[in-house]
Protein backbone atom coordinates (compact mmCIF):
# COMPACT_ATOMS: atom_id res chain seq x y z
CA UNK A 1 0.00 0.00 0.00
CA UNK A 2 1.27 3.43 -0.91
CA UNK A 3 1.92 5.38 2.26
CA UNK A 4 2.20 8.78 0.64
CA UNK A 5 0.31 9.82 -2.43
CA UNK A 6 1.91 12.73 -4.28
CA UNK A 7 0.14 15.44 -6.22
CA UNK A 8 1.78 18.50 -7.73
CA UNK A 9 -0.50 21.43 -8.54
CA UNK A 10 1.77 23.20 -11.02
CA UNK A 11 2.08 20.47 -13.63
CA UNK A 12 0.37 19.96 -16.98
CA UNK A 13 -2.49 17.50 -17.34
CA UNK A 14 -0.20 14.97 -18.99
CA UNK A 15 2.42 15.32 -16.23
CA UNK A 16 -0.32 14.82 -13.63
CA UNK A 17 -1.43 11.60 -15.34
CA UNK A 18 2.15 10.35 -15.59
CA UNK A 19 2.70 10.94 -11.87
CA UNK A 20 -0.60 9.22 -11.09
CA UNK A 21 0.28 6.24 -13.30
CA UNK A 22 3.68 5.90 -11.63
CA UNK A 23 1.96 5.56 -8.25
CA UNK A 24 -0.92 3.24 -9.16
CA UNK A 25 1.00 -0.03 -8.86
CA UNK A 26 1.90 0.91 -5.28
CA UNK A 27 -1.62 2.15 -4.56
CA UNK A 28 -3.44 -0.97 -5.76
CA UNK A 29 -2.93 -4.31 -4.07
CA UNK A 30 -4.30 -7.64 -5.28
CA UNK A 31 -4.41 -8.85 -1.67
CA UNK A 32 -6.78 -6.04 -0.61
CA UNK A 33 -10.52 -6.18 -1.12
CA UNK A 34 -11.73 -5.06 -4.54
CA UNK A 35 -13.87 -2.32 -2.98
CA UNK A 36 -10.80 -0.94 -1.18
CA UNK A 37 -8.83 -0.75 -4.43
CA UNK A 38 -11.71 0.90 -6.28
CA UNK A 39 -12.15 3.39 -3.45
CA UNK A 40 -8.48 4.36 -3.40
CA UNK A 41 -8.39 4.65 -7.17
CA UNK A 42 -11.34 7.09 -7.22
CA UNK A 43 -9.75 9.10 -4.41
CA UNK A 44 -6.39 9.22 -6.23
CA UNK A 45 -7.98 10.50 -9.45
CA UNK A 46 -10.07 13.09 -7.57
CA UNK A 47 -7.05 14.23 -5.55
CA UNK A 48 -4.91 14.49 -8.69
CA UNK A 49 -7.56 16.57 -10.46
CA UNK A 50 -9.36 18.50 -7.70
CA UNK A 51 -11.46 20.51 -10.17
CA UNK A 52 -13.46 17.37 -11.04
CA UNK A 53 -16.81 17.15 -9.26
CA UNK A 54 -17.42 13.38 -9.54
CA UNK A 55 -15.20 10.31 -10.01
CA UNK A 56 -16.57 6.84 -9.59
CA UNK A 57 -17.29 3.35 -10.79
CA UNK A 58 -20.47 1.70 -11.97
CA UNK A 59 -20.27 -2.09 -11.88
CA UNK A 60 -22.20 -4.39 -14.17
CA UNK A 61 -24.77 -6.87 -13.02
CA UNK A 62 -26.85 -8.37 -15.83
CA UNK A 63 -28.30 -5.50 -17.91
CA UNK A 64 -27.56 -2.76 -15.39
CA UNK A 65 -24.69 -0.75 -13.99
CA UNK A 66 -24.79 -0.30 -10.22
CA UNK A 67 -23.08 2.45 -8.28
CA UNK A 68 -19.72 1.47 -6.86
CA UNK A 69 -17.09 3.43 -4.95
CA UNK A 70 -17.03 7.13 -5.83
CA UNK A 71 -15.96 10.62 -4.78
CA UNK A 72 -18.53 13.40 -5.19
CA UNK A 73 -22.16 14.17 -4.57
CA UNK A 74 -24.85 11.51 -4.10
CA UNK A 75 -25.31 9.67 -7.39
CA UNK A 76 -27.70 7.56 -9.41
CA UNK A 77 -27.57 4.01 -8.11
CA UNK A 78 -28.73 2.04 -11.14
CA UNK A 79 -28.25 2.74 -14.85
CA UNK A 80 -29.60 0.57 -17.62
CA UNK A 81 -27.00 -0.49 -20.17
CA UNK A 82 -27.60 1.64 -23.27
CA UNK A 83 -28.99 4.62 -21.28
CA UNK A 84 -27.12 7.86 -20.54
CA UNK A 85 -23.40 8.30 -21.07
CA UNK A 86 -22.39 5.41 -18.78
CA UNK A 87 -24.89 3.00 -20.29
CA UNK A 88 -23.94 4.02 -23.84
CA UNK A 89 -20.23 3.54 -23.12
CA UNK A 90 -21.05 0.14 -21.63
CA UNK A 91 -23.15 -0.89 -24.64
CA UNK A 92 -20.59 0.28 -27.21
CA UNK A 93 -17.64 -0.93 -25.09
CA UNK A 94 -15.76 2.26 -25.89
CA UNK A 95 -14.65 5.43 -24.14
CA UNK A 96 -17.04 8.33 -24.62
CA UNK A 97 -16.05 11.97 -24.21
CA UNK A 98 -18.94 14.41 -23.80
CA UNK A 99 -17.87 18.07 -24.08
CA UNK A 100 -21.37 19.33 -23.16
CA UNK A 101 -23.72 16.96 -21.30
CA UNK A 102 -26.71 19.11 -22.29
CA UNK A 103 -26.13 18.07 -25.89
CA UNK A 104 -25.93 14.32 -25.18
CA UNK A 105 -29.29 12.68 -25.99
CA UNK A 106 -30.64 10.88 -22.94
CA UNK A 107 -28.00 12.20 -20.52
CA UNK A 108 -28.86 11.25 -16.93
CA UNK A 109 -28.46 14.23 -14.61
CA UNK A 110 -27.30 13.01 -11.21
CA UNK A 111 -25.49 16.28 -10.42
CA UNK A 112 -26.80 19.43 -12.07
CA UNK A 113 -23.34 21.02 -11.68
CA UNK A 114 -21.80 18.57 -14.19
CA UNK A 115 -21.15 20.08 -17.61
CA UNK A 116 -18.81 17.58 -19.28
CA UNK A 117 -18.10 13.90 -18.80
CA UNK A 118 -15.84 11.03 -19.78
CA UNK A 119 -16.71 7.35 -19.34
CA UNK A 120 -14.20 4.52 -19.78
CA UNK A 121 -15.50 0.94 -20.03
CA UNK A 122 -13.73 -1.78 -18.08
CA UNK A 123 -13.53 -4.89 -20.23
CA UNK A 124 -12.09 -8.22 -19.17
CA UNK A 125 -11.67 -10.60 -22.11
CA UNK A 126 -14.38 -8.63 -23.96
CA UNK A 127 -16.78 -8.95 -21.01
CA UNK A 128 -18.02 -5.60 -19.72
CA UNK A 129 -17.20 -5.52 -16.01
CA UNK A 130 -18.12 -1.90 -15.38
CA UNK A 131 -17.25 1.69 -16.22
CA UNK A 132 -15.19 4.53 -14.79
CA UNK A 133 -17.27 7.72 -14.87
CA UNK A 134 -15.78 11.20 -14.39
CA UNK A 135 -17.66 14.52 -14.42
CA UNK A 136 -16.51 18.12 -14.50
CA UNK A 137 -18.36 21.34 -13.64
CA UNK A 138 -16.76 22.95 -16.71
CA UNK A 139 -17.58 22.44 -20.40
CA UNK A 140 -14.97 20.81 -22.66
CA UNK A 141 -12.83 19.46 -19.82
CA UNK A 142 -11.95 16.09 -21.32
CA UNK A 143 -9.88 15.38 -24.41
CA UNK A 144 -7.73 12.70 -26.01
CA UNK A 145 -5.08 13.10 -23.29
CA UNK A 146 -7.68 12.11 -20.67
CA UNK A 147 -8.87 9.21 -22.83
CA UNK A 148 -5.32 7.91 -23.35
CA UNK A 149 -4.32 8.04 -19.70
CA UNK A 150 -7.60 6.95 -18.15
CA UNK A 151 -7.55 3.90 -20.41
CA UNK A 152 -3.98 3.22 -19.23
CA UNK A 153 -5.13 3.57 -15.60
CA UNK A 154 -7.88 1.01 -16.24
CA UNK A 155 -5.36 -1.33 -17.86
CA UNK A 156 -3.12 -1.06 -14.79
CA UNK A 157 -6.11 -1.68 -12.53
CA UNK A 158 -7.02 -4.79 -14.52
CA UNK A 159 -3.45 -6.11 -14.44
CA UNK A 160 -2.89 -5.29 -10.76
CA UNK A 161 -6.21 -6.24 -9.22
CA UNK A 162 -9.12 -7.22 -11.41
CA UNK A 163 -7.62 -10.32 -13.03
CA UNK A 164 -6.80 -11.73 -9.60
CA UNK A 165 -10.26 -10.89 -8.29
CA UNK A 166 -11.94 -12.60 -11.25
CA UNK A 167 -9.66 -15.64 -11.07
CA UNK A 168 -10.38 -15.96 -7.35
CA UNK A 169 -14.11 -15.62 -7.99
CA UNK A 170 -13.98 -18.24 -10.77
CA UNK A 171 -12.16 -20.74 -8.57
CA UNK A 172 -14.62 -20.18 -5.71
CA UNK A 173 -17.52 -20.75 -8.08
CA UNK A 174 -15.91 -23.90 -9.53
CA UNK A 175 -15.47 -25.36 -6.05
CA UNK A 176 -18.96 -24.39 -4.93
CA UNK A 177 -21.55 -27.18 -4.63
CA UNK A 178 -24.32 -24.92 -5.90
Higher pLDDT, 112 or 67: 67
178 within some domain? no
pLDDT for res 126 = 87
- Count of domains for the chain: 1
8 within some domain? no
CA distances from residue 49 to 10, 14, 145 in whole angstroms, order as listed = 11, 11, 14
60 within some domain? yes
71 within some domain? yes
Residue 25 has pLDDT above 60, yes or no: yes
175 within some domain? no
Beta strand 78-80 pairing with 96-98:
unpaired
Residue 71 has pLDDT above 80, yes or no: yes
Convert the pLDDT of each residue in 108-166 to its tens digit.
988 889 999 999 999 988 899 999 999 999 999 999 999 999 999 999 999 888 766 66
Q: Is the dihedral of CA 154, 155, 161, 165 positive or negative?
A: positive
Q: Residue 55's domain spans which residues?
A: 13-167
7 within some domain? no
2 within some domain? no
172 within some domain? no
Strand order of the sheet with strand 127-136? 78-80, 64-72, 54-61, 127-136, 116-124, 96-98
Three-class secondary structure of residue 162 per DSSP = helix
pTM listed for this prediction: 0.89
CATH number at residue 162: 3.30.450.40
Residue 94 has pLDDT above 80, yes or no: yes
Please count the CA atoms within 13 angstroms of the CA of 76 that sit on its side-chain side.
19
Residue 177 has pLDDT above 50, yes or no: no
Amino acid sequence: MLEKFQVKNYQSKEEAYLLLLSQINNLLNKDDKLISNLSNLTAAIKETFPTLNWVGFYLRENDFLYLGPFQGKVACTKIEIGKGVCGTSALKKETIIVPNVYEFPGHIFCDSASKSEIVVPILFEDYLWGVLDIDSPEFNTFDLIDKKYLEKIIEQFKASVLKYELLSYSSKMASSKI
